Structure 1
């Protein structure tokens, strides 16, 4: 579309505030049906998570929202240190970047982060409980409400919002347990979105 027009195009995000971000044209249609003229479908998003946002208005460049591009990669380009924001940076009470609200990317049912694989065995599985995890974890869980995040953390990042949206469409789901990660270059971005969706709630 941009190449055909030959000019830059500026438009609002297809994300609706506080809810899981769309990663397919179907998600956009569900959220914005009747509010937009049309959708250009170029297939599912390649990464699944939103972009890295960097604040360059401060003395030391600071990542406000982590994404696939890491602080280390940005540092190499800028030739200086890049910090990772640890809290909610606000200007006059307004978050500096999208997704910095305490509860964001959240489905209707409460979300709980499961940090250790062995903790999944402690959960009582019933028809009102959903679970999203890697295939090797799901294989050990006796539940009819399972959503595969794939086989790697990169796949999990790609599928996270799809999982949250899937359980949002299942009206009988009252709680959702999602696998957490502490390794891999994409894990800070993945955990950032998951922590927002879960409002910081972890299963212990």
Structure 2
């Protein structure tokens, strides 16, 4: 109800002339302990510094938002302490109001001062507000694509906007590794609520051009720091329940969480709920609503075995050929088809089989390799979906999935949602 009342009170705003400012991540230098003690970075490039100062002013002194790169995807940030800024995020994205946001901080010191409203006292630990179960993980994985759930402080001791939590008793927080993101948060000295900087339901942006495509005229500024290295959102874990849960697979794998978390995380469960009921509250983004979806229909090819023999590879190509023909028979309007391959299908063999098939030669096919490893596929996934959808304007997208281990868990999580669970065993 709290969030709904604020949405009803929103008034329309004039369109923005969205600025895209180049920034150089390599010019931003943090001390080894800056993510703990909050010391500010040194910025050696004047243009980068000027852009960051301007963006920090927007975050700190206005109700507006800034899009910026993180190591995972581009984020759309507003002050997590300002209801109107958070509303600006929801409005720009057309995001459902019951979908919680992750709060990004630049340091543990900032988390304590700005969210828990506690200054560091002599003899006290900076980590007192972080449950001990998380400490092995954050000591190894912060700064980085790991989000943890913490109890919401009482309203008497926190200025955290209730709009970031969607009326949950917990809030999600992380310290990003990308220097541009860290510098923006540090220079504004403001925790930043930031979902991915795309229109709601669309594939997440990993380039500034993706943000501009979706949010042009809806936000005042985009900081262009180049391509995101990880390519999928952060891993979200809940250590407040027993056993602990991996709520959203992401930039760190389940195997890394188990290895680095210690004994307390050895029984960590993976949230695998296939659907969320209407009205059901969720603890983290990505658990509810349509996500990561191009305009074109996506069909996910789910591997049903680990056999990589030549015979099975040929069988898969024959099966794909039949699937394409089935879709063309069902929809006479399909003219352009994209096939995104990963580890088993060979592009050269596919091209030979498809282009020499008289039933298919009248159609346009775009065949692209996502990568040769889990890390490459993860980094290229959203950009490839956007390319074939927005630039090539295809009508149908087939994506070859991978086994759900290592990076595969996060990749298949995103692809199942992009396909709307239109999955075929392959």
Asked if TM exceeds 0.5, the reply is yes
Taking the aligned partners of 2:212 and 2:191, their CA distance within structure 1 comes to: 20
1:79 to 249, 255, 263: 263
SS state at 2:299 partner? strand
Tell me whether 49-58 or 133-142 shows the greater mean CA deviation: 133-142
2:349 to 135, 140, 160: 140
1:186 is matched with which residue? 407
CA 1:12 to 1:114, structure 2 compared with 1: closer, same or farther past 3 Å? same
Structure 1 residue 89, shift from structure 2 partner: 6.2
Structure 1 residue 33, shift from structure 2 partner: 0.7
Alignment length, in residue pairs?
204
Q: Is the 8 A contact 2:336 2:365 kept in 1?
A: no
Q: Does 1:158 align with 2:344?
A: no
Superposition CA RMSD, Å: 2.7
SS state at 2:223 partner? coil
Structure 1 residue 77, shift from structure 2 partner: 2.3
Structure with bigger helix share is: 2
1:104 to 286, 291, 316: 291
CA deviations over 1:110-162 (Å, ceiling 9, x no partner): 11112355133434378421111138622222263123212222211111111
Structure 1 residue 90, shift from structure 2 partner: 7.1
2:282 is matched with which residue? 95
1:124 is matched with which residue? 324
CA deviations over 1:21-68 (Å, ceiling 9, x no partner): 001111011111112121111111111111101123422211111013
Higher relative contact order (CA 8 A, sep 6+): 1
Structure 1 residue 7, shift from structure 2 partner: 2.7
Q: Does 1:10 align with 2:192?
A: yes
Show structure 2 runs of 5+ residues with no match: 1-51, 53-181, 304-312, 326-333, 352-363
Show structure 1 runs of 5+ residues with no match: none
1:56 to 239, 253, 261: 239
CA 1:173 to 1:91, structure 2 compared with 1: closer, same or farther past 3 Å? closer
TM-score normalized by the length of structure 2: 0.44
Tell me whether 52-61 or 158-167 shows the greater mean CA deviation: 52-61
Tell me whether 29-38 or 114-123 shows the greater mean CA deviation: 114-123
TM-score normalized by the length of structure 1: 0.85
Q: Does 1:176 align with 2:397?
A: yes
